[in-house]
Structure 1
Amino acid sequence: MTISAITLGVRDLERSLRFYRDGLGLAFPGIIGTEFVADAEHPGGATAMLSLGNGLILSLYGRDDLARDAGLTPDRVSGSGVSLGWFVDARDTVDELLERAAAAGGSVVRAPLERPWGIYAGYFADPDGHLWEVVYFLPGSAPG
């Protein structure tokens, strides 16, 4: 199995786009689907898709539209029941990304620290509470 996209339900598409594109610097090819406007039966189609590399897409989709599309209530597609891992190549990059996330409107959930299993990592949450762990593998501890 190959995961091609991770879709986050967001309250405000433009705000989330600014956070990920302008704040964190993710590549952004554009918002698609704006011609599909939500109605009583159908979700809207406006989605921002950002490139995470290796072909993986981070899709930002209105929370209400995502819930309607999946046949769920909006509370089922909110918050953070998972964390997304962002592996970086330098220890300083962990600190830099956490600072950028906070400056862009997110929050640092846990300041970075060295863990006994060989990582230096910290957590941030985006403006909708989606949890990210930024991880640097200490020398000799990288997976695979």
Structure 2
Amino acid sequence: MTSTPEITAITLGVRDVERSRRFYVDGLGFRQVLEIPGDIAFVQCAPGQLLALWDVEQMPTEYGDVAHGSAAPPVSLGHNVDGPTACRSCMPLRWRPGRPPSPSRPSGSGVG
């Protein structure tokens, strides 16, 4: 792996993306970075760190049915890299036998 391991994204599964975005941006003053209406919003929560507010119903489409039961909160941690090539180099660290990687999303993210 060529990049330094850092948590660069924290994803919260939310019931209402727009309402959550308003809370963090209008209420707390975080800077909005990107929004795909009804899907996901990214806000800057610290230098070099994003908070993603993602429609909780869509999270399993990327992560599968992992930790989406009543006992687990809809949260994930992310490590962003420079591009698709760097992302692919990290993939073997995450893949499990019999489970292919998820495709890229409209936001540009890919699961690794």
TM-score (norm: length of structure 2): 0.52
Return the offset for 1:13.
Answer: 0.5
1:14 to 11, 18, 23: 18
Higher relative contact order (CA 8 A, sep 6+): 2
AA aligned opposite 1:4:
T
* Consecutive unaligned residues in structure 2, runs of 5 or more: 76-112
Which residue number in structure 2 is paired with residue 70 of structure 1?
A: 63
1:24 aligns with 2:17: no
| Corresponding residue of 1:50 | 43
Counterpart of 1:113 in structure 2 is none
Unaligned residue ranges in structure 1 (runs of 5+): 35-43, 82-144
Which secondary structure state, in structure 2, belongs to the residue aligned with residue 60 of structure 1?
strand
Max radius of gyration: which structure?
Answer: 1
The CA RMSD over aligned residues, in Å, is 2.7
Matched pairs, number: 70
What is the aligned-residue identity percentage?
Answer: 37
Residue 89 of structure 2 corresponds to which residue in structure 1? none
How many angstroms apart in 1 are the aligned matches of 2:69 and 2:18?
Answer: 20
Runs (4+) off by over 4 Å: 76-81
Higher share in strand: 1
